[in-house]
Structure 1
Amino acid sequence: MPSAEFQKHLCVSIHDVAPATWQLCQHLIEAVNAVANIPLTLLVVPAYHGDSRDMPWYDRELARRLALGDELALHGYLHLDQGPPPRGLRQRYARHVYTRGEGEFAALTELEAAQRLALGMQWFACRGWPLQGFVPPAWLLGDGGWRALRASGLLYTTTWRHFHFLQHAAPVEAPSLVYSSRNAWGRALSRQAVRWAALGQRNAPLARLSLHPRDALDARTVRHVQHLLATLLASRVPATKAAFARDWLDSLARPAVGGIAV
């Protein structure tokens, strides 16, 4: 564990970043900035739903966010589940109902996952952008995906419940605060669930607020995000996911004096 002096962190991420979703992503960025100008982690999908066209305007927008201090992380390559048919009701629900068929890395073999990762990493490299993290679409990562990811050289990944370091450190339990936006009653229930989940995590070293483009479509959800963000920032240091990973690992590496890391 890190030292008792380790400051509690907040990571705010925007998922499913792509040309097709950029307008909604911008709305979320503006909503966050209206509360505080904090660094964000943008989870980028290079060929979202199969669209791999180069769009210079979009590259300029991402480069601008990078220059402002945001992090760009890889969020799959296609954001589509093209794996073998699911086995059993649990897999069918997870892969085709809950995630709407977007859990790209849920059932890939190690070779397939490695190929998708290589394509995504090459997309970043061609633009000269740093890449330290990967978040699987819908937070679904099968055994093959895990093996490929651990061999990728990346620093971290996250699942719904944990922040994972890909080299030599135990994961940090940090369930993501995430909204459901499929219908009005679901949005109302999820706002209440997020509020209670945030209260339950008030002493945790890391809080993760995960936003999706569709959240921008509901004004009540946006206002709830802003209120929650202000509350979390009153006691937490905002950081990108990569910055949190470095801070956590640095804290673990500090020598201990009298049993306490310094």
Structure 2
Amino acid sequence: MTATDQSRQSTRRLLASIHDVHPGSVPAVEKLAGMFERHLGGPHYAMLVVPDHWGKYPIVGNTGFARRLREWSDSGIEIFLHGWFHRDTSEHSGIAALKAKHMTASEGEFLGLTKGDASFRMSEGRKLIEDIIGKPVAGFIAPAWLYGAGAMEALAENGFALAEDHMKVWRPETDEVVARGPVITWASRSRMRTASSLFAAAAGRLALGPLETVRVAVHPGDITKQSILESIDKTLASFTKGRRIGRYRDLLTS
């Protein structure tokens, strides 16, 4: 490797994350974590934790999950707060209605919340997770990467170090964008969405190489389709070549 190649590698990073981590998703999360660690050389990725996924899997009172979450955090995995319920129960109109219909399956929890409701869920979720892991969360990422006006106002006032959507990572307190470019992710809930996500991942492996920061995000449902697992494997293999395995906190100092 030439000096130029080494310098380029040192400035280019891969960020990887597992979404929708909650008591009901542990077996799937463990499988995805194993895949990540084979490619990334260890626990060099993030987990996005949902305090009470769809009102069915509360962390409160689940000592086994709390213990596992603390173990993940202690191993070096970055822990983000990922909404509260993950389920969207708001009524939408205009552009928000289009996003709610076409970008997610009733999972854009923070798309229609008022500032007060968003702030309450952010602060309560943060306290819950930080009490378990014994350290600050890495940041907040809204379910389905969707933020309404109320959520954005609340986010700016809740002191999270980082936030992320489909196209960027930023510091909520200053609005400084610290990474740009689309996140590579997959969809398993229908044949059409799966096919389109496989195509997008393949295109991303070709087109996103020049980006300084590439982000890859997986979900528990991804383990249900072998075609998606194979695509994740190819994508991680592609982007671990010539890049350092980064952490989200690197973005705060670069």
Structure-1-length-normalised TM-score: 0.86
**Aligned mate of 1:227, from 225, 228, 234:** 234
Counterpart in the other structure of 1:18:
22
**Aligned mate of 1:149, from 155, 176, 193:** 155
Within 5 Å, give how 1:68-217 maps onto structure 2: 68-83=75-90, 85-88=91-94, 90-127=95-132, 128-168=134-174, 169-217=176-224
CA distance in 1, matches of 2:19, 2:213: 18
- Conserved? CA contact 1:13–1:209, under 8 Å: yes
Secondary structure in 1 matching 2:17: strand
Counterpart in the other structure of 1:45:
50
Alignment length (residue pairs): 242
Structure-2-length-normalised TM-score: 0.88
Counterpart in the other structure of 1:259:
none
Please provide the CA RMSD for this pair: 1.8
Secondary structure in 2 matching 1:182: coil
CA distance in 2, matches of 1:182, 1:82: 19
- Letter of the 2:111 partner, please give it: A
- Conserved? CA contact 1:25–1:216, under 8 Å: no
User: Does 188-197 or 10-19 show the bigger shift?
Assistant: 188-197
Q: Deviations over 1:90-120 (max 9, x none)?
A: 4334224531111111011111111111111
- Conserved? CA contact 1:31–1:222, under 8 Å: no
Secondary structure in 2 matching 1:155: coil
Counterpart in the other structure of 2:245:
238
Secondary structure in 1 matching 2:18: strand
Deviation at 1:189, TM superposition (A): 3.1
CA distance in 2, matches of 1:171, 1:11: 13
- Letter of the 2:74 partner, please give it: A
- Letter of the 1:122 partner, please give it: K
* Ranges in structure 2 where 5+ consecutive residues have no aligned partner: 1-6
User: Runs of 4+ in structure 1 displaced over 3 angstroms?
Assistant: none
- Conserved? CA contact 2:161–2:171, under 8 Å: yes
Counterpart in the other structure of 1:29:
33
Q: Deviations over 1:186-241 (max 9, x none)?
A: 32332121121232111111100010111111122112211211110112111222
Within 5 Å, give how 1:51-66 maps onto structure 2: 51-52=57-58, 53-66=60-73
CA distance in 1, matches of 2:172, 2:193: 34
- Conserved? CA contact 2:168–2:177, under 8 Å: no
- Conserved? CA contact 1:165–1:245, under 8 Å: no
- Letter of the 1:121 partner, please give it: R
- Letter of the 2:164 partner, please give it: T
* Ranges in structure 1 where 5+ consecutive residues have no aligned partner: 249-262
CA distance in 2, matches of 1:216, 1:9: 25
Secondary structure in 1 matching 2:11: coil
Identity rate, percent: 25
Indicate the structure whose relative CO is greater, using CA pairs within 8 Å and at least 6 residues apart.
1
